[in-house]
Structure 1
Amino acid sequence: MAGLVLRPWRDDDAAALITAVGDPLLHRWTRVRAADAAEAQQWLGVQHAGRRTGSRYSFAVLDDAGKLVGNVALKRPDPAAEDAEVGYWTAAYARGRGIAPQALGSLTRWAFGTFPGLLRLQLLHQVDNTASCRVAVKSGYPYERTLAACDPYPLEGHVHVRDRQAGEPELAR
């Protein structure tokens, strides 16, 4: 598979976002909604605000032709904490091509390389989302434990964890 490009979301991604997230399966597993231009701009605004505050770093994932194929995000509600959460989604038309593990691997390297105090990344998914379970394990996030169901998720969830590896390099600043 050719390389992927991860870049911060831009306002002009709205049309591609609407196309990518109009998928019932994606609606089942995520809270991302963008049925029209207003919803797309609202979602993009949340991504921009998170980047400004340092609480969320969300990246559009583009294939080698420049087409939007997914999203990866580092969620750090407390930027001083040693742990954070990662999340991702892949557009229906791009699934089955190994995009999610590749993009998640890039995000993981970026997160550990950019934030020296970050020691642990968690990936959460509902227990019945077997595809996300496979992506997590394939991406170096082994299963750690099961969480009880809680709003807005009606089922139990899996927690997968990736710890910073000894000697993992920081990115040049």
Structure 2
Amino acid sequence: MNAALRTATVVAGPLLLRPWLYDDLPALLDAYRDPAMRSGLHTQVTDEATAERWLRVQEEGRTTGLRYGFAVVDTASGDGPVGHVTLKFPAPGSGSAEVGYWTAAPARGRGIAVQALEALTGWAFTAFAGDGLVRLDLLHRGDNEASCRVAEKTGYGFAEVLPARPPWPLDGHRHERRAG
């Protein structure tokens, strides 16, 4: 495992994408109190124990090289994390990976998701070009119009409708972006 990737950070204007820290636990809990976020995410953070488990998953992902979760910090506001972006590989050296993101309710509508996803995308295609990464997929529920807008603004073209299957009760969308 490349040590530089394990501790990688990305700067995008006033946003800093950095590994999650234990000190971020209160911000994580606050973000997951939002009913809209809870309804759209598979993983639920409901208390300190599940927040600690979530933070461990982020660290373990970096250790294995299969998941790179970044806290999105708005350095202009001086607040803690206002969002999250992640890059998930199905297996080491995969030619494709999945991206995901969320923005805390108070930070929505400011373009943070677009800016953070664009920064993650650029970093991923650069950092993993030598490993053969050529495609990134963005998946979301079909009724999540805001995620469709984020996908479009960041160059992730609509690829297909994904049929509903547990744990998702509704159809989804897959958007994709290719390297180069």
With the length of structure 2 as denominator, give the TM-score of the two structures: 0.88
Q: Which of 90, 108, 124 pairs up with 2:139?
A: 124
Please give the residue correspondences for 1:1-173 in structure 2 after superposition, counting only pairs within 5 Å.
3-64=14-75, 65-116=78-129, 117-165=132-180
Distance 2:83 2:146 in 1: 15
The match for 1:169 is none
The match for 2:5 is none
The match for 2:9 is none
Instruction: Tell me the CA shift for residue 36 of structure 1.
Output: 2.0
Distance 2:141 2:30 in 1: 24
Paired AA for residue 168 in structure 2 = Y
Instruction: Tell me the CA shift for residue 144 of structure 1.
Output: 0.9
Give per-residue Cα distances to partners, 1:44-103, cap 9 Å, x unaligned: 011111111111000000012142110000000212110000000000010000000000
The match for 1:168 is none
Distance 2:105 2:61 in 1: 26
Contact kept, 8 Å, 1:146 with 1:159, in 2: the verdict is yes
Distance 1:138 1:109 in 2: 14
Runs ≥4 residues deviating over 4 A: none
Size of the aligned set, in residue pairs, is 165
Contact kept, 8 Å, 1:21 with 1:32, in 2: the verdict is no
Provide structure 2 residue ranges, at least 5 long, that are not aligned to the other structure: 1-12
SS for the counterpart of 1:74 is: strand
Query: Quick check: 104-113 or 2-11, which moved more?
Result: 2-11
Distance 1:26 1:62 in 2: 18
Contact kept, 8 Å, 1:58 with 1:71, in 2: the verdict is yes
Contact kept, 8 Å, 1:56 with 1:77, in 2: the verdict is no
Paired AA for residue 141 in structure 1 = Y
Provide structure 1 residue ranges, at least 5 long, that are not aligned to the other structure: 166-173
- Identity within the alignment, %: 54
Distance 1:149 1:31 in 2: 13
| CA RMSD after TM alignment | 1.3
Instruction: Tell me the CA shift for residue 33 of structure 1.
Output: 2.4
Paired AA for residue 159 in structure 1 = R
